[in-house]
Amino acid sequence: MTPADWSGKDQPAILGGAPAFREPIPVARPTLPGFEEISGELERVLASGIITNGPQVEAFERETAAWMGTEPEKVVAVSNCTTGLILALSLIEPPGEVVMPSFTYFATGLAATWNALTPVFVDARPGDFNVDAGAVERAVGEKTRAIVGVYVFGCPPPVATLRKLADAHGIPLILDAAHAFGAVQDGTPAGRFGDVEVFSLSPTKPVTSGEGGLVVCREEATAADLRRRRNLGILDSATDPTRGLNGRMSELNAVLGRASLRRLEKNLRNRRRLVGIYHDELGDVPGLGFQTLPPGAVSTFKDLAVVVDSDELGMKRDDLAEGLAAENIGTKKYFSPPLHLQRRFAGLSRTQGPLRVTEKLAECALCLPLYSHQEEGDVRRVTAALRRLVAHGEDVNRRLTELRREWE
């Protein structure tokens, strides 16, 4: 990324200084292989005439299993993560409740409502942003049919505790692992903790197939059932009674996914190195906090979030985001609003107690630019711009107030 004219580098762009970047830098972007790396496989796929239900998808499932240390028969490739979550929860007969965090992407909740199940939203923990296992325990009751955990930004949730809770109540543990391909807890990779774990392969993820998902199961029988559901519920004939949908991954997507998987270790190393720079450059800024990892947890850092204490920082989260936008720096307010405050779930869900931590995170968390091939210099420009905004906080707040009056 090319820096702007730095003659005004000591003044934030919103106050008339030069922006940190001439062209906008997004909060995320895909890290893709060169065409020469995948052209041979693409040519073979096209020449074969088999573009679905073929050997590339099967190879991708095998390679995923090898990476996670499980059997290929337990891995099911699907068209996307949301489809995978819907299929996973279709294993549960309605009616019933599914306990899950509210601080997550709305696809987690949609998978339940699509299956006529009631999401029961519970609170998060302030340090790692993951679901509070104590809140889950309090929410589990006679109507509970499953527990759903989420790897928030790639950080493992309290999987051991959730596993014990699920086993104690005889219900499945389903993990939304959309962010988690490459995450580890106590030496065990994500994919090995839940009865079903569902990974995303969309463009912002550490492994991408363009669009796609991977479902990893504890039992082969579960995976076999999901394969049938992935294929419209058909096993031997169209009269099979199993519910299903078309959730197949194409051969072309699998080619891209396999190439991306080969780069995973390198990509994760770079992401973690860049996160270290963010911590080094911003760790001493009063009023800024970071997601903290539990002992034994290794995150993918699908996203890098700062938490804004507006009283201490002297600036609200949304004002900081506007100031960074003036610098041509993209940000994302994950997950705002949280699921229990979204109209799409009104009347279809219930909330277990006040979700104070969740609401605070949704109000204060801001994701900064991070992607696997990002240059170190760009990260340092982002952090310098952020520090500059904080240093001029009073003037920035005043200018934003003036601008809002002009817009009214």
- Calpha distance 360→100 (Å, rounded): 18
Handedness of CA 103, 105, 106, 111 (dihedral sign): negative
How crowded is residue 337: how many other Cβ atoms within 10 Å of its Cβ?
15
Residues 6+ apart with CB under 8 A from 342: 106, 109
Instruction: Report yes or no: 324 and 9 within 8 Å, Cβ to Cβ.
Output: no
Measured CA to CA in angstroms, residue 273 lies from 123, 235, 371 at distances of 30, 46, 11
Of 108, 110, 81, 113, nearest in space to 94 by CA = 113
Which tokens hold the place of 296? Answer: 């034994």
Instruction: Report yes or no: 81 and 215 within 8 Å, Cβ to Cβ.
Output: no
Q: How many Cα atoms occupy the beta-carbon half-sphere of 375 within 13 Å?
A: 7
Is 9 a known active-site residue?
Answer: no
**Residue 343 burial class via C-beta count within 10 angstroms: exposed 0-12, middle 13-18, buried 19 and up:** exposed
Q: How many Cα atoms occupy the beta-carbon half-sphere of 280 within 13 Å?
A: 9
Task: Indicate the helix (H) or strand (E) that contains 368.
Answer: strand 365-368
Which tokens hold the place of 370? Answer: 């991070």
Handedness of CA 111, 113, 117, 119 (dihedral sign): positive
- Calpha distance 392→12 (Å, rounded): 8
Active-site annotation holder among 74, 143, 164, 205: 205
Q: How many Cα atoms occupy the beta-carbon half-sphere of 55 within 13 Å?
A: 7
- Where in the sequence numbering do the catalytic residues fall? 205
